[in-house]
Structure 1
Amino acid sequence: MKFRHAAAAITALLVMHAAAGQTATPAKPASAPAPAATTAANPATDPATPGMPTAETSTAALKPGDATAGQGKAAACGACHGIDGNSTDPQYPRLAGQNEQYIAAQLADFKSGKRMNPIMVGFAQPLSEQDMHDIGAYFAGKASLPGVADQALVEQGQTLYRQGDVDRGIPACMACHGPDGRGNPGAHYPQLTSQHAKYVEARLKGWHDGGTPNDGPRTKIMVSIAQKLGDKDIAAVASYIEGLHTNEPTAAAPATP
């Protein structure tokens, strides 16, 4: 009897052990997806390069420029460029009506050192990419005040702006900046209309003298064009650009909510 009881006990233990083994086996797949769950909890992590944000996450984080938010962020800019982007000192460019993409791109270049300016580098350093677009949106929504051209230079300046000079290999300015000088936001070609003649002249002379080693591809185009211009050409086209505007006030771009 004792033997039978012992055998029965051993059999029961074996059955329980087998049952436990059967229930434990399917539990392994349930724990296998744990790494995936961890990844899902941190969607900003790129599985291919742990710790680095994914391109999708970075793109989604950047919103179109918000002009309302940009107003406060652009307060410091007003000291030189005017609170509404219409600077009174011709050494500082007018930003009113300038397209958002161009302003954001230039601020990024100042921050990275691609474009050198000791004053602008300091202002650009603390800005995020979103800040740059917000500031760009703010100034894009402002109307640029019309300038005045020197009538003695209008004819020559207009010819260069609208026709260029085929014999010297100089393309028309309006091919990139538009017949009304509004620029091309998609291609990052800036608005020129009503820009200070002295500022335009200074930029063209800088490019005429060779530009800088870290000039981007679009700027290198301007370097090659400016080197074909004489001093009188530069003065004439710069003056014409300052006086370039329509009879209608510049339509302010709608603010992004």
Structure 2
Amino acid sequence: MLLDRKSEKNNSSMKNWLTVLLLFLSISWNAELFADEYADIRPQLTLCFTCHGQNGVSTQPKYPIIAGQHFYYLYVQLKDFKTAYRSSEIMGPIAKLLEKKQMIAMAKFFSEQKWPNIGYRPIKERAQLGETSAAAGQCVQCHLGGYEGDSRIPRLAGQYPEYLKNTMLDFKNKIRNNSPAKGSLLVSYSNDEIAAMAEYIAGKTIHAAQINLEVQ
């Protein structure tokens, strides 16, 4: 009888301990959940990571780095995809399902991440051609001297050269039309000059906080 009572007491203590532990874990989990202001868009962010990499740090040169890109620029691009002002077989259908508050939250999330350092170094002669070509087009008037952009103007420095080249060619060939002025400017450049500009700008260094990225 004494052993039975002792066993019951031990079982009761164990149950109480487990109850306290589960309660603590529940509180901790909920605190973490509610502390995450992006909890409501986690599914959308996870989808973005498929192409743009974890937290927007793309490791595929054909997809742009969006970690650390300017908030308002990101929001406008999502809005343009949604309205088909900027066309994309991938981004169009995704953006059409987004509400304004989701686009704002997604743009905010990616803008708060650190821009990665891809460590790209162009060949000297190509960089010189790219610099001369960019100067002729007065690119720094909008993208600023370090090609770091500001608000509505995207950061280009340290972006993948393949993506930069393809984007400029899309503007030139009227495939991308959500910035007509760029199309009008780039039509006067040869494809080689555009490629050289992409290489030159990709080799520029961002002075803001970065994370190092080993390019695959």
Question: Which TM-score applies when normalising by structure 2?
Answer: 0.73
Three-state SS of the structure 1 residue aligned to 2:38 is helix
Tell me how far 1:109 sits from its aligned partner. 1.0
Distance across 1 between alignment mates of 2:107 and 2:210: 16
Distance across 1 between alignment mates of 2:115 and 2:206: 11
Aligned: 1:207 with 2:171: yes
Tell me how far 1:210 sits from its aligned partner. 3.0
Distance across 1 between alignment mates of 2:160 and 2:62: 8
Q: CA offsets per residue over residues 90-135 of structure 1, 9 Å max, x none?
A: 1111101111111111111111111111111121122111111111
Aligned: 1:178 with 2:178: no
Aligned: 1:233 with 2:193: yes
Q: How does 1:191-202 map to 2 (within 5 A)?
A: 191-202=155-166
Aligned: 1:151 with 2:120: no
Distance across 1 between alignment mates of 2:202 and 2:160: 5
Q: CA offsets per residue over residues 205-252 of structure 1, 9 Å max, x none?
A: 12222345xx23xx111101111111221111101121111466349x
Q: Confirm or deny: 8 A CA contact 2:148 2:206 kept in the other structure.
A: no
Give the alignment partner of residue 130 of structure 1, picking from 87, 101, 111.
101
Aligned: 1:105 with 2:76: yes
The structure having more radius of gyration, on CA atoms, is 1
Three-state SS of the structure 2 residue aligned to 1:205 is helix
Name the counterpart of 1:220: 180
Q: How does 1:32-51 map to 2 (within 5 A)?
A: none
Distance across 2 between alignment mates of 1:77 and 1:130: 16
Name the counterpart of 1:245: 205
Distance across 1 between alignment mates of 2:194 and 2:95: 30
Q: Confirm or deny: 8 A CA contact 1:86 1:95 kept in the other structure.
A: yes
Name the counterpart of 1:96: 67
Give the alignment partner of residue 38 of structure 2, picking from 69, 75, 78.
69
Distance across 2 between alignment mates of 1:84 and 1:199: 18
Distance across 2 between alignment mates of 1:119 and 1:179: 32
Write the letter of the residue equivalent to 1:156: L
Q: Confirm or deny: 8 A CA contact 1:210 1:227 kept in the other structure.
A: no
Q: Confirm or deny: 8 A CA contact 2:64 2:163 kept in the other structure.
A: yes
Q: Confirm or deny: 8 A CA contact 1:86 1:96 kept in the other structure.
A: yes
Misfit runs of 4+, over 2 Å: 158-161, 246-251
Tell me how far 1:160 sits from its aligned partner. 3.0
Q: CA offsets per residue over residues 34-93 of structure 1, 9 Å max, x none?
A: xxxxxxxxxxxxxxxxxxxxxxxxxxxxxxxxx841762412100100112121111111
Cα RMSD (Å) of the superposition?
Answer: 2.0
